[in-house]
């Protein structure tokens, strides 16, 4: 499973990417607004830090302008992935950009039929939003399962499932169990993946016992 970091905070991306655990980055207009920085500059800096796909989202709502924006953003760096919304216009833009060889991430996916259309439109990634479905009292993981089943039913559907709107470590575990290809995870949740109280407790005990030996390794 690939891990993308869901962030437009260059310092956070840089720190977490230094672990070697990050395969890509996803940004969206809200994350760019939160960074308070210039969109193009931030995307360029992120692309210099991470080799894998870096999603940059178009702002237009009509296909023609989305394609122009997508072409402009794709020139920032070779690893830019153009993010388009899962609308009829977004699907048209996806088809057009993907035919040109540009990676496309179709975002704001909330049902399996939308995911099927995105794959038919040549999307590199489909982004089903787990947390936002859970927020409505629905089960975001069911959507990941349905998309996995549909994509596995047809060899010609090569789109990768990018589990998005991940809010907890449990979301990551469940998405991995189902077989999502990628999880895009906020930095805070990524760090929590490494935590377990028994790990901390065990390490404390090892350290105390080691102190008692009076030895040192270096």
Q: Which position among 34, 72, 83, 208 bears the catalytic label?
A: 83
Tell me how far, at minimum, the Cβ of 133 lies from ligand G3P, in Å.
10
Alpha helices (H) in the chain, listed in sequence order: 10-17, 29-35, 39-49, 63-74, 88-99, 112-120, 130-135, 140-153, 169-178, 187-192, 197-213
Q: Looking at 104, 184, 189, 190, which residue binds ligand G3P (CB under 6 A)?
A: 184
Coil, helix or strand for 81? strand
**Is 132 one of the binding residues for ligand G3P (CB under 6 A)?**
yes
**Is 69 one of the binding residues for ligand G3P (CB under 6 A)?**
no
| Residue 119, Ramachandran bin (φ over 0: left; ψ between -120 and 50: alpha; else beta) | alpha
Coil, helix or strand for 47? helix
**Is 191 one of the binding residues for ligand G3P (CB under 6 A)?**
no
Q: Which two tokens stand for residue 202?
A: 């065990």
**Is 81 one of the binding residues for ligand G3P (CB under 6 A)?**
no
| Closest CB to ligand G3P among residues 85, 211 | 85
Tell me how far, at minimum, the Cβ of 68 lies from ligand G3P, in Å.
23
* Count of other CB atoms within 10 angstroms of residue 27: 25
| CA angle, 128 then 111 then 22, to 5° | 10
| Closest CB to ligand G3P among residues 66, 198 | 66
C-beta nearest to ligand G3P: residue = 165
Backbone φ and ψ of 127, nearest 5°: -110, 90
Q: Looking at 29, 52, 131, 179, which residue binds ligand G3P (CB under 6 A)?
A: 131
# chain residues binding ligand G3P, by CB under 6 A: 10
83 is catalytic: yes
Q: Which two tokens stand for residue 137?
A: 């009292």
What mask of x and - would describe binding to ligand G3P in positions 20 to 49, judged by CB under 6 A? ------x-x---------------------
| Closest CB to ligand G3P among residues 1, 211 | 1
Residues noted as catalytic:
83
């Amino acid at each position: 499973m690939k891990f993308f970091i869901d962030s437009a905070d260059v310092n956070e991306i840089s720190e977490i990417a230094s672990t070697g655990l990050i395969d890509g980055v996803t940004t969206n207009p809200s994350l760019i607004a939160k960074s308070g920085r210039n969109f193009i500059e931030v995307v360029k800096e992120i692309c210099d830090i991470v080799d894998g796909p870096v999603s940059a989202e178009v702002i237009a709502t009509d296909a023609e302008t989305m394609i122009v924006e997508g072409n402009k953003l794709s020139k920032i760096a070779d690893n830019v992935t153009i993010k388009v919304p899962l609308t009829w216009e977004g699907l048209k833009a996806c088809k057009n950009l993907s035919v040109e060889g540009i990676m496309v991430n179709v975002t704001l996916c909330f049902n399996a039929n939308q995911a099927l259309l995105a794959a038919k439109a040549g999307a590199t990634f489909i982004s089903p939003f787990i947390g936002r479905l859970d927020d409505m009292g629905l089960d975001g993981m069911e959507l990941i399962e349905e998309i996995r089943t549909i994509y596995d039913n047809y060899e010609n559907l090569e789109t990768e499932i990018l589990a998005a709107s991940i809010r907890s470590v449990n979301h990551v575990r469940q998405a991995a169990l189902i077989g999502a290809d990628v999880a895009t995870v906020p930095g805070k949740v990524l760090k929590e993946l490494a935590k377990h109280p028994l790990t901390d407790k065990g390490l404390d005990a090892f350290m105390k016992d080691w102190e008692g030996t009076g030895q040192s390794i270096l």
